[in-house]
Structure 1
Amino acid sequence: MTPSLPQPRPPAALVPSAGAAVLVTGAGGPAGVAVVRRLVALGHRVVAGDADVAAAGGALAHTAVVLPRGDHPRFVDALLGVCVAYGVDALVSTVAEELPHLAAGAGRLAAAGVATWLPDVAAVDVCCDKAAFARAMAAAGVPHPVTAASADEVAGVPGPWVVKPLAGRGSRGVRLLDDRALVVEALRADDGLIAQTRLTGREFTADALVDRDGAVRVVVPRWREETRAGISVKGRTFASDAVTRVVSGALAAVQLTGPANVQGFVADDGTATVMEINPRFSGGLPLTLAAGADVVSAYLAGVRGEPLPELSSRPGVAMSRYFAETYSSEDGSPVVDPCAPVAVRA
């Protein structure tokens, strides 16, 4: 279950450390790619793992491996095999669905010399269940849209409405409805849906890092100025005490530690409301890094049991995302990037 996939190496100028390697899972997703790129840029030796043999992050790391999905019964066995084979001493998961399985195998990983920093499974479960998350926010008094978890509860939810899956990511399965009867019909037809009052205002995402004792070390909010398939492609960091307070309150309510991605809205009157928490690094992580908050390095330090550095960020840093490609060949020979700068001879 742990085949290694040959991939093009990172740029030769980035020489990896001779020390232990870091295994990053979910290397095919935006968060995984961002974590791989940051660790490679810092000189760490990086092993990128993903269930997709062609995951882009594999081409950006020093070694790429194919892993089973997190819910596979041999998932932890595969991780252990990779860690032993490649001298891994630290694990960074960028996939929320893997976290409960990793927690179950944390003792085996520790016995193999692999350090982890995993959130409490109960906190992950609350974050991954939108109905449970709504109840947690209501119990803690954290602003959150009114939510119906069944058709019978829709009468108590003001419209207009957004109907979405109980579990999921991005904008998959999300519907905007203006007719209460259609909302009731949707929830009766599928008990895996919830309905919420549709919020207005500016949408934000905040990257956060919570240390092991529950103290919030940094909150970096950014406006989601343009999204595609639920992923931010244009954004700008900003400073807001109201957003920092509501994000910190939401994180405390679910008792999450480690990296988190908190999404919500800021109304015209400045009131901030939380929509959801993803218990992982975000797809928009590069903007947080560019704004000066190196949550990747800080998290890795925490994984390895080292003190977390002080973190801060700069407001007003903008990001515009574009597509980039990695290349490989069947025989393992290098493939020239057709868009790479061409050296001009004098």
Structure 2
Amino acid sequence: MSNILITSAGRRVSLVRAFKKELKQLIPNGKVYVTDFKPELSAASQIADKEFRVYKIDDKNYINILLELCVKNNIKLIIPTLDSELLILAQNINKFKDSGITIVISDEHFVNTCYNKIATQDFFENSNIRVALVYNKTNFKLPLFIKPINGSNSIDTTIVKYENQISKFHIENDELFFFEYIDSDIYDEFTCDLYYDKRGQLKCVIPRKRIEVRGGEISKGVTCNNRIKKIIEENFKTIKGARGCITMQFFMNNDEDVIGIEINARFGGGFPLSYLAGGNYPKWIIQEYLLNENIAYFDDWKTDLLMLRYDEEILVENYEN
């Protein structure tokens, strides 16, 4: 039996459902399990075939506990979902591989490139893609963005419109950088779901326009076959060390001026839109890593597909508080 584990499942109900559906069709006796620090309070844990409680990612025993869990439960694939777990999992790929377990994750170097905003800027610029300016803290133009060099989901990101909003902490903290402000009234934001095979070759690109965002995650969006797709196909046909689902974020205005913003080496929160548009990344992962099949380039996805998200409840009976 070949089972799949989705780590830090949290609210990713749609992702778990997608993997369950595709695994059942390809390997009928396979199961999709999840981990969470508090599985009893995780919506995704309630719809998985089984859930496991694990230590926090920064616990020294996290990797050993995760490996033991995988071996005991015939788990052959691990799908990470959280930025904070990517690096430690990338560093331990071979440890899991020795036990016949594949972590579907990019290599350590590329994960570091994605997590470090300055390294990400360099990555885009090396492909002649414009990026937001990085200001000297003594010579900047307002408004601006203050962002930590490492981080995700807009954590600790601040928009500064007036100079009195900049504190001594902002100036002296070497982890915080001043970035050019990109006007959202002029530029639209796009997140692109990319699929890279085992060899780091691009197999699919689906741009999604972020119409509305809630809590850093898309709540309204639409798939778009636009210039950004062509730029990715031309510049990122192969990325050394990239594997599985990668998300790239861009701004683009009506004049098709494109600015590279961010890269995440994992499934994005808005991936369900790309999946429902035809980008069957869960199926391709199963075919590649469990069935040892090659993946052909896929371009037959639905453009102009609108997603409108809403809240849905999962009820758990006899919950002990």
Q: TM-score range by the shorter chain?
A: 0.7 to 0.9
The yes-or-no answer on 1:83 pairing with 2:61 is no
- Unpaired segments ≥5 residues, structure 2: 25-29
Distance 1:248 1:109 in 2: 34
Of residues 327, 334, 341, the one that matches 2:315 is 327
Out of 15, 18, 22, the position equivalent to 1:35 is 15
Contact 1:24–1:47 at 8 Å: present in 2 too?
yes
Matched-pair contact (CA < 8 Å) for 1:29–1:283 = no
> Per-residue deviation at 1:181?
6.7
CA contact (8 A) 1:163 1:183 kept: no
C-alpha change, 1:250 and 1:192, in structure 2 (3 Å) is farther
- Which residue identity is paired with 2:73? Y
> What TM-score do the two structures reach when normalised by structure 1?
0.81
The answer to whether the aligner puts 1:172 opposite 2:155 as a matched pair is yes
State the 1:23 CA deviation.
Answer: 0.8
Per the TM alignment, residue 113 of structure 1 is displaced from its structure 2 partner at its CA by: 2.0
| Matching of residue 94 in structure 1 with residue 86 in structure 2 | no
Pick aligned residue for 1:70 from 47, 52, 57: 57
Q: Residue 249 of structure 2 aligns with which residue?
A: 263
Q: For structure 1, list consecutive stretches of 5 or more residues without a partner in the other structure.
A: 1-18, 333-346
Q: How far is 1:169 from its partner?
A: 2.1
| 1:13-67 deviation digits (Å, cap 9, x = unpaired) | xxxxxx321111121043xx33211011222411111122321111111100012
Does the CA contact (< 8 Å) of 1:266 and 1:273 recur in 2? yes
Aligned counterpart, 1:291: 277
Per-residue CA deviation, residues 208-259 of structure 1 (Å, 9 max, x unaligned), is 1122323211110011000011110000101013444147636867853321
Q: Name the counterpart of 2:27.
A: none
* Cα pair 2:91 2:108 within 8 Å, conserved: no
Cα distance between partner residues in 2 of 1:260 and 1:86: 27
List 4+ stretches of structure 1 deviating above 4 A. Answer: 180-186, 250-255
Q: For 1:148-163, list aligned pairs within 5 A.
A: 148=135, 151-152=137-138, 155=139, 158-163=141-146
CA contact (8 A) 1:216 1:248 kept: no
- Structure 1 position 295, deviation (Å): 1.2
Q: What's the CA shift for 1:81?
A: 1.9
Report the AA paired with residue 228 of structure 1.
Answer: R
Q: C-alpha root-mean-square deviation of aligned residues, in Å? A: 2.5
How many residues are matched? Answer: 308
2:317 partner amino acid: S
Counterpart contact for 1:294–1:311, Cα < 8 Å: no
Does the 8 Å contact 2:202/2:236 carry over to 1? no
